[in-house]
Amino acid sequence: MNINELKQKFTEVFGTENTPRLFAAPGRVNLIGEHTDYNGGHVFPCALSFNTYVLINKRSDNKVRLYSANFENKSVIEADLHHIVYDKKQDWANYPLGVLAVLLKREYPITTGFDVLFWGDIPQGAGLSSSASIEVATAFALSCVFDLRIPNFEISKIGQEAENKFVGMNCGIMDQFASAMGKENHAILLDCNTLNYRYAPLDLNGISILLCNTNKPHNLIESKYNERRAQCEHALQQLQSQLSIHALGELTEKTFEAHQEIITDPVERKRAKHAVYENQRALLAVQKLQEGNLEDFGKLMNASHVSLRDDYEVTGPELDAMASAAWEQQGVLGARMTGGGFGGCVVALVKNEHLETFKNNVARIYQAKTGYKPDFYVASAGAGAREIK
SS3 sequence of 223-239? CCHHHHHHHHHHHHHHH
- pLDDT tens-place string over residues 238-284: 999 999 999 999 999 999 999 999 999 999 999 999 999 999 999 99
SS3 sequence of 69-105? CCCCCCCCEEEECCECCCCHHHHHHHHHHHHHHHHHH
- pLDDT tens-place string over residues 312-369: 999 999 999 999 999 999 999 999 999 888 889 999 999 999 999 999 999 999 999 9
Distance of CA 33 to the CA centre of its chain: 12
Handedness of CA 281, 29, 177, 288 (dihedral sign): positive
314, 291 contact by CB (below 8 A): no
Q: What are phi and psi of 198, to 5 degrees?
A: -150, 150
pLDDT of residue 220: 57
Residues 9 and 12: their CA atoms lie apart, in Å, by 5
Q: Which residues are marked as active site?
A: 175
Q: How far is CA 346 from CA 252, 290, 320, 374, in A?
A: 27, 23, 9, 11
Which pairs from 273-277 meet CB under 8 Å and 24+ separation?
273/307, 273/311, 274/35, 274/307, 274/308, 274/311, 274/312, 275/35, 275/36, 275/39, 275/41, 275/232, 275/248, 275/249, 276/41, 276/248, 276/249, 276/251, 276/252, 277/253, 277/307, 277/311
Going through 59-196 in order, the beta strands assigned E by DSSP cover 63-68, 77-80, 114-120, 186-191
CA-nearest of 75, 229, 93, 86 to 165 is 86
Pair 126, 215 in one domain:
no
CB count within 10 Å of CB 187 equals 27
Give the pLDDT band (50/70/90) at residue 303.
very high
Residues 389 and 387: their CA atoms lie apart, in Å, by 6
Task: Count up the domains in the chain and report the number.
Answer: 2
Pair 240, 215 in one domain:
yes
71 Cβ neighbours under 8 A, 6+ residues apart: 91, 92
pLDDT of residue 65: 97
pLDDT of residue 286: 96
Pair 194, 224 in one domain:
no
Going through 159-206 in order, the beta strands assigned E by DSSP cover 186-191, 197-201
Pair 16, 155 in one domain:
yes
pLDDT of residue 33: 97
Phi-psi map region of 315: left, alpha, beta (phi>0 left; psi -120 to 50 alpha): alpha
- pLDDT tens-place string over residues 72-84: 888 999 999 999 9
- pLDDT tens-place string over residues 142-190: 999 999 999 999 999 999 999 999 998 888 899 999 999 999 999 999 9
Q: Tell me, what DSSP letter sits at residue 220? A: G
* Structural domain boundaries, residue 20: 3-201+383-388
Q: Which helix (H) or strand (E) holds 143?
A: helix 130-145
What is the rounded average pLDDT of the residues 117-140? Answer: 91
CB count within 10 Å of CB 155 equals 28
Pair 44, 59 in one domain:
yes
Average per-residue pLDDT in the chain?
94
Pair 211, 91 in one domain:
no
CATH number at residue 173: 3.30.230.10
354 Cβ neighbours under 8 A, 6+ residues apart: 329, 330, 331, 332
CA-nearest of 344, 339, 376, 345 to 361 is 376
Q: Which residues of 354-388 are buried (b: 16+ CB within 10 A; e: fewer)?
A: bbeebbebbbebbeeebebebebbebebbbbbbee
Percent of the chain with pLDDT over 90: 87
Residue 195, SS3? coil
Pair 182, 239 in one domain:
no
Pair 359, 225 in one domain:
yes
Handedness of CA 91, 214, 169, 227 (dihedral sign): positive
Pair 369, 331 in one domain:
yes
Residues 365 and 373: their CA atoms lie apart, in Å, by 10
Pair 154, 275 in one domain:
no
Residues 27 and 23: their CA atoms lie apart, in Å, by 14
Pair 146, 267 in one domain:
no
The yes-or-no verdict on residue 222 having pLDDT over 80 is no
CATH number at residue 281: 3.30.70.890
Residues 190 and 257: their CA atoms lie apart, in Å, by 25
Antiparallel, parallel or unpaired: β 186-191 and 42-43: antiparallel
Pair 267, 322 in one domain:
yes
Does this model's pTM top 0.75? My answer is: yes
